[in-house]
Amino acid sequence: MNWESRYLPPDPTMWQGRTDIPADACFYQHMRLLNLLSSKPEQSAEITFAIVGFKCDEGIQRDLGRTGAFEGPTAIRQRLAKLPVQKPGIHIYDAGNIICTDHDLEASQAALGEVISRLHEKNIRPIVIGGGHEMAWGHYQGIAKNCPRQKHLGIINFDAHFDMHPMQPSNRGSSTTAFFQIAEAHAAEGRHFDYNCIGIQHAGDIRQSFDIAKKFNVNHILADELHQGLQEKCFDFIDRVVDENDHIYLSLSLDVFSPAFAPGVSSIQPLGLNPWHIIPLLRQAASSAKVVSYDIAEHVPRYDIDHRTAKLAAVLIYEIIHHHNERSRSRTSV
């Protein structure tokens, strides 16, 4: 598979800022550029992250959704660049983008999988930014290459939707089929399947989606439960995933949030969550020392207001990096 034809090297103009602040104060000063066409990442003994963009609208387009997520990675990088860094010794790359401009979603997903695999081989944790949630199928392909079958891989998805729709005619995937594809891949390879969703909405998922989730033994917490204050149930939910798995893949669709916080998404959910429903759970998972890959999906800049959604996505990356692998299971840490 010729992944190189779908790869764009990192753009240094994304990581610029003021020259009158102290060194190493903000992300743009910490970011190192990694062009995978001309160099290989070094094996990392330290905790190291790599931002990877998935510039793609094809999955959303196949679902007849609001397109524009192709520009999501650029908008998120621009907001992340100027955020402060509070934790010393941060190691982070911008590893460029995978693009889809020819409607061949499957080839772009495979290319993303190849990039993810190369990063994992060097003990680098990817943070994929998008782009529609079809990125999850490509992301998983890369994770699976470096995760032995006997190891249990738990998946946590913060999302208003299960994204487990069956494949479209002609066996085509989309932004709503990714976790169905992952479930089928697990079954075909005899892997343990442990898929866990937080933020699911009855008004956002058809009845058949709940039936499919039940068939695959998907665990979920409804947005209603978070609105009703059942935070302790959510902490226990994350604890169970951490305790029962060797590795965790954490995915987050920005449409899990209320449009008051994330208007720039493909599928707005009026009864979505607020960031403080999610951030303590994100911190809890990140600090478990078991998350090997992250992604943040569904940012559509053309529908954003005052860059709210891009800023929120950037803050979520900030939270991941500052809390990852702290080996603290505290539920109240800041």
- In order of their start, the domains of the chain are 3-323 (3.40.800.10)
Would you call 267 helix, strand, or coil by DSSP? Answer: coil
pLDDT of amino acid 44: 76
The radius of gyration of the chain's CA atoms, rounded to the nearest angstrom, is: 18
pLDDT of amino acid 26: 96
**How many Å apart are CA 148 and CA 61, to the nearest integer?**
34
**How many Å apart are CA 115 and CA 139, to the nearest integer?**
9
- Within 10 A of 289 (CB to CB), how many other CB atoms are there? 14
pLDDT of amino acid 168: 81
**How many Å apart are CA 261 and CA 43, to the nearest integer?**
38
Strand duo 193-200 + 153-158: pairing: parallel
pTM, entire model: 0.95
> Letter for the amino acid at 150?
Q
pLDDT of amino acid 334: 29
Whether 297 and 136 have beta carbons less than 8 Å apart is answered as yes
Would you call 255 helix, strand, or coil by DSSP? Answer: helix
pLDDT of amino acid 305: 98
pLDDT of amino acid 327: 55
> Letter for the amino acid at 296?
I
Q: What is the pLDDT along the chain (334 residues), one digit of tens a residue?
A: 689 999 999 999 999 999 999 999 999 999 999 999 998 888 877 899 999 999 999 999 999 999 999 999 999 999 999 999 998 889 999 999 999 999 999 999 999 999 999 999 999 999 999 999 999 999 999 999 999 888 999 999 999 999 999 998 888 999 999 999 999 999 999 898 999 999 999 999 999 999 999 999 999 999 999 999 999 999 999 999 999 999 999 999 999 999 999 999 999 999 999 999 999 999 999 999 999 999 999 999 999 999 999 999 999 999 999 999 765 444 433 2
**How many Å apart are CA 312 and CA 127, to the nearest integer?**
15
- Within 10 A of 191 (CB to CB), how many other CB atoms are there? 19
pLDDT of amino acid 1: 63
pLDDT of amino acid 326: 60
